[in-house]
Amino acid sequence: MQTSLDDLEPTLIEDPAAQTGVADAAPAAKRVFIKTFGCQMNVYDSERMGEALAAEGYVETNDVQEADLAILNTCHIREKAAEKVYSDLGRLRDIKRDRAKGGKETLIAVAGCVAQAEGTEIVRRAPAVDLVVGPQSYHRLPELLQRSRGGGKSVVETAFPDEDKFDALPERRPAKAASAFLTVQEGCDKFCTFCVVPYTRGMEFSRPVAALIHEARRLVDRGVRDIKLLGQNVNGYHGDGLDGHPTTLTGLIRELSKIDDLARIRYVTSHPRDMGEDLIQAHRDEEKLMPYLHLPFQAGSDRILAAMNRKHTAGEYLRLISRVREARPDIALSTDIIVGFPGESDKDFEDTLAVVREAGFAHAYSFKYSPRPGTPASTMDGQVPEGAKSERLARLQNLIDERLALFNGASVGKTMPVLFEKAGRFDGQLVGRSPYLQLVHADAGPSLIGKIVDVDVRSAGANSLSGVIRG
């Protein structure tokens, strides 16, 4: 019998510790199992769903077998992630049936972007599902669960409601870690031709600065030192400032910087077109803004970039990052790249490799193009065969690994302030993050968790650094 869904680890989450799921539950409580797929915004959403359900007496569990409610918070960005949901739903159906034999009710909910994109189709393919809830409606989870339980038939809620879900959600719980996510902006109006986000998350919406300061303060009061501001197009942020007029991401960062015990601010994901001069200069002027920028370029060929509707050329991208480097010479740049977009020739792919060589990325995520239903690129001529995509991805990943080794290698011999986040794999060891988001291991006692300490970096591996604490 299946005991957990752990073998189906989500693919894109950087920090598994950020996932929900706490085992120390009181015996009589209702239990909820939440599995998160996809991006960091889903991790944030899962936390907020957990909080909304905690207010209804639910306690989180890592063991799906004991869950009275199982939620899959899903990702629709590539086909593989979406299809995985259906295999998980098959397992959940069996668990629900087995538990029913023991007289226990199990509710199954599908949340997130697959819920938004496929709606009733999910219930048709997986009738054991009780509730389908889109990303804009999860503040209504308790009420929707009530409805699905009472009515005996599946409830599908994928509207974009007028009310602001963030206003309707309960206050943040005590933080689980020294770093936390904070969603400041949702949705995207850019309509890159490969991307489902404008369809699943809707048009751009920015939360007001006052609400974000309030939420950030609560996180900091509970021990958070590092906040990552999240948005599908975060540097397009245009929420109301404290004076009631719309402000920019820079304005928001300036206000958040005033929170005393907040030490580090990052933001993700940005679009090159929305990288304004004020934000570039903030990387020079704002001490708490970390020297790290995730700025996807997707492809190096101008022809492919135009077909992607990216609204920038390779040259413009490279000029932009050199302006960012002028403002903050040590900045760590990270990016997203797609290989095998329709019409991509070998020469186009070489142009992508050339940008990677020139840009000097500290980190890069690379993907094979995956046709998504309803997006313009999915019906374009010149779909690239799977074999060519795989070959290009392997070549690109080799190059990225080389660049990453160069970036990490250059850290050896330097002293860096490291925010320690948790115990390491070995006794007496802690793991933290450098300002450049590198993982850093050092021998240290647990009292340093949540503290920022200078570390002399002694060696660099493929994915992390090791060092000793400055005496």
194 contributes a contact to ligand 5AD by CB under 6 A: yes
Among 41, 52, 77, 324, binds ligand 5AD (CB under 6 A): 77
Give phi and psi for 447, each to the nearest 5. -65, -15
Question: x/- contact string, 219-258, with ligand SF4 (CB under 6 A)?
Answer: -------------xx-------------------------
3-state helix, strand, coil in the chain (%, to 5): 40, 20, 40
Task: State the nearest-atom distance from the C-beta of 372 to ligand 5AD, in Å.
Answer: 5
Question: What does the block give as tokens for 255?
Answer: 């206000």
Question: What does the block give as tokens for 369?
Answer: 């193009």
Among 336, 391, 443, 456, binds ligand 5AD (CB under 6 A): 336
- Which of positions 268-297 make contact with ligand SF4 (CB under 6 A)? 271
Answer yes or no: are the C-beta atoms of 266 and 437 closer than 8 Å: yes
Say whether 23 sits in a helix, a strand or coil.
coil
Question: What does the block give as tokens for 111?
Answer: 């949340």
Among 195, 321, 439, 465, binds ligand 5AD (CB under 6 A): 195
One-character DSSP codes across 220-247: HHTT--EEEEE-TTGGG---B-TTSSB-
Q: DSSP state, 377?
A: G
Cα–Cα distance, 237 to 319 (Å, whole number)? 23
Distance of CA 468 to the CA centre of its chain: 30
Which of the choices ligand SF4, ligand 5AD, none does residue 248 contact, using the CB cut-off of 5 to 8 A by kind?
none
Task: State the nearest-atom distance from the C-beta of 76 to ligand SF4, in Å.
Answer: 11
- Give one word for 260, left, alpha or beta, with left for phi > 0 and alpha for psi -120 to 50: alpha
- Which of positions 357-376 make contact with ligand 5AD (CB under 6 A)? 367, 369-370, 372
301 contributes a contact to ligand 5AD by CB under 6 A: no
The tally of CA atoms less than 13 A away on the side-chain side of residue 53 is: 28
135 contributes a contact to ligand SF4 by CB under 6 A: no
- In the bound state, the residue with its beta carbon closest to ligand 5AD is 336
Question: x/- contact string, 166-205, with ligand SF4 (CB under 6 A)?
Answer: ----------------------x-xxx--x-xx-------
Residues that bind ligand SF4 (CB under 6 A): 188, 190-192, 195, 197-198, 232-233, 271
Residues that bind ligand 5AD (CB under 6 A): 77-78, 194-195, 296, 298, 336, 338, 367, 369-370, 372
